[in-house]
Amino acid sequence: MINSGERGFGLPKFSLAERERRWGKVRELMRAAGLDAIIGFPNQSHWDQFQADIRYLTHIGGHQFEVAMVFPLYRDVTAFVRGANEVEWWAIAQDWVKDIRATRRTWGEPVIDRMKELSLDTARIGVSGLGGLLRAPEGTVVAGMLEKVKTAFPKAQFENATELLQDARSIKGAEEVAFVERAAGILDRVVEALLAKARVGVMENEIVATIWHTIIANGGDYPSMTHWGAGQGVPWASRIAPHRKLQAGDMINTELEAKYGGYIAQTVQAACLGKIPAELTRAFDTSVRIFDDLVRFMKAGVTFREVISRYQKLVRESGHIPKGMLLHGRGIGEDRPQVTGEADVSYNAAQYTMHLDIPLVEGNVFVLKPGAMPSEAPDSIRCGDTVVITANGARRLGKRKFSFPEIL
C-alpha cells in the first residue's frame, strides 16, 4: 500500500477544465484529420521530452517515467505504466485518467488489448513521435513496439500524428503559461545561486550541484537541461559536469532549463572570473538591446520569418554577425518552432524552416536568445529568456535584470 499522504503528493496539478480544453482541441484536430485514435509509446530521452505528447494528454510523466497511451476519438483515455505499484501511485498523483494499466515492461500487448476493446481493426491510427520532431526528425518510436501493434491490426492505417499534436501543444492555455512562468521564476533563483557560488577554486561539479539543488528545492522537476561551460574564450557547454576547479580568467557560459509540473523555461547566463574582453561586452549589450526590441516587435499576426528579418537587420546595424539559434518553442517538450538566426537557413534541415511563415498567436511560448557575433566565431556571449505571446504582445517571463558580471 502506498502511503498517499496528501492527495496528489502535493505535486503541481492541472485542473479538469484544462484537461477538457486539451482533449477537446486534440479531438477536434483528429476529426479534421480523420483519425480514430492516437497511440504513444515510452521514450524518456532528451531530458524526458520525447514522450511529451503522452504527458500532455494524460498528466502522467516526469523523472523519466515510462508511460504509453491510447487516446481514442470518443471513449475513455487509457494510460500504460510499468507495474501495479505505478498504477496505484499515478491514481493518487493525478485525476485526469482513470484507466491506468500495468505492462510489466511489455508495451505492445496491453496497447493491442485496448485497441481491440475499442474495435479499431480497420481504423486510422495516429502515432505520436513517428517522425518529424524538431530534435528528432527520424522519430522517437521504438520499432519493435509499433511493429507488434501493426502486425495485430493488418487492416488499420497508421499515420504520423506529430504535427497534429504540435498544432495543439504550441498554443498554451492560461494554466500552462502559469506553469512555465513558475519555471522561469525558479531559473531566476538558479542564476542568483550560481553567481553567488562561482569563485576561483570552486569545483565546477559543485556549481552544477548548486543548480540542481536550487531547481528541486524550489519545486522544479528533474531531469532538465543543464548546459554549463567554463574556460577560456567562449566555452561550449560540458555535457557532463567537469571535475575541475574554476580558474582566474575563466569565462562562464550557461544555457539552463527548469521545469515546473513538466513545463520548461529556459534562460542564458554568462559571467567572467576576471576582466571581460571589450568585444564580448559589446556583443552582450547588443544582444540585450535586440532582445528588448524583438519583445516589443513580436505580437499576434507577425510571422517568425518577419522576426528573423528584424533580428538580422538589427544585428548587422550594430556591426555584428547574425548567428546561432534565435528562438525555439518551450512548453512540455520541444514545442514548435525552432528558428535559427543565420542569414541563410537553407543549409539547415527542414525542421529549422518548416514553420517560418506561421504567424505568432496568443499562447505561443518560446525562449528568445539573440546572438550578436563579433566575428565568425562559433559562439558569443548573449542574453536569453522565455517569452509568451499575449493579447497585448510579447511578455518576458523571467524577472531578473540581464547581467554579464565580472566576478573578481
pLDDT tens, residue by residue, 171-202: 999 999 999 999 999 999 999 999 999 999 99
Higher local confidence (pLDDT), 3 or 109: 109
Global pTM value: 0.95
Per-residue model confidence (pLDDT) at position 47: 83
* φ, ψ for residue 306, nearest 5 deg: -65, -35
State the average pLDDT over residues 273-294: 97
Q: State whether residue 118 is helix, strand or coil.
A: coil
Cell of 403: 547581467
In eight-state DSSP terms, residue 234 is: S
Average pLDDT of every residue of the chain: 94
Per-residue model confidence (pLDDT) at position 347: 42
What span, in angstroms and rounded, lies between the C-alpha atoms of 236 and 232?
10
**Is-contact 370 326, C-beta < 8 A?**
yes
pLDDT of residue 87 exceeding 50, the answer is yes
State the average pLDDT over residues 27-54: 95
The domains located in the chain, with CATH, are 7-169 (3.40.350.10), 174-396 (3.90.230.10)
Enumerate the H helices of 63-203 as residue ranges: 84-93, 108-117, 143-152, 162-169, 174-197
pLDDT of residue 380 exceeding 80, the answer is yes
pLDDT tens for 321-336 read 998 899 999 999 989 8
Cell of 27: 479531438
- Residue carrying C-alpha cell 507577425: 302
Higher local confidence (pLDDT), 102 or 2: 102
pLDDT of residue 343 exceeding 60, the answer is no
Per-residue model confidence (pLDDT) at position 7: 74
State the average pLDDT over residues 290-295: 99
Residues near 398 by Cβ (< 8 Å), separated by ≥ 6? 184, 185, 187, 188, 265, 267, 385, 386
Indicate the pLDDT class of residue 348, thresholds 50, 70 and 90: very low
Cell of 20: 477538457
